[in-house]
Amino acid sequence: MKLEKTLWRLNHDGYWDKPVDDTHYTKRDSLKTFDQNGYALCGLEREHAKTNNYEARLGQHQVGEWSIRLPWYWQTDQQYGAHLNHAILVERKGYTDEALRRLNDFTYVNPLIWKMIKMKPKWGIDISVDYVDDDGVVFEVFHHEWDSFNFTEVIDMKCIIEEFVELADFEDIAKKLWNKRDEWTHLSYDKMSEYKCDFVGVPRERYKMANWHDG
């Protein structure tokens, strides 16, 4: 199994500074299903993405769920053994300058806008490798999702995971993990993740960090 790294890069600038058309601030559904922990963008955030020339960096995780979602690794189609499930780079923006001023202007009409004003910029990495064979053995070999409000921290972790991926033999890791399945298949998802990260020698995952300055 060989993974190819893309040319996409995370952007160190964590803020959008251009405002959107006034009509978008007052729409009732502009902040519907606001994601306070992850990377999914509400309608008003998506409008800011368009205005700030970020539309090309948007992608859908599920139908209707948009985020700044960049391909990190890719693999030619493989339907057997160890294979890539997904590998992405993600961002969530804060607001500054005129964009922040306009958001503040409309809080009296739509108080939910405070959710965006209080956003901290966040970056993350997310990679998952699965395994399947003819006997019906199916499990996740490796998953590493790691977020930070500090851009440099994320880049440092990205380099650590890239070094691991470059040298990893996921077929061999899968076989060794399956031979030790009695040690981890009964664990909760978080504990299972800790076991597998420890098994391959990479730092444990860190994600679902509250995006607001107030917690």
Instruction: Please state the pTM of the whole predicted model.
Output: 0.92
* Residue 112 within any structural domain of the chain: yes
Q: Within 13 Å of residue 185, how many CA atoms lie on the same side as its CB?
A: 9
Supply the pLDDT for residue 63.
Answer: 66
The number of folded domains in the chain is 1
* Residue 213 within any structural domain of the chain: no
Residue 160: domain span: 4-200
Tens of pLDDT, residue by residue over 195-212, are: 999 999 999 999 888 888
C-alpha span between 113 and 25 (Å, rounded): 8
C-alpha span between 87 and 147 (Å, rounded): 14
Supply the pLDDT for residue 76.
Answer: 82
C-alpha span between 148 and 124 (Å, rounded): 6
* Residue 69 within any structural domain of the chain: yes
Supply the pLDDT for residue 11.
Answer: 96
pLDDT below 50 — which residues of the chain? none
* Residue 215 within any structural domain of the chain: no
- Cβ atoms < 10 Å from Cβ of 39: 22
* Residue 171 within any structural domain of the chain: yes
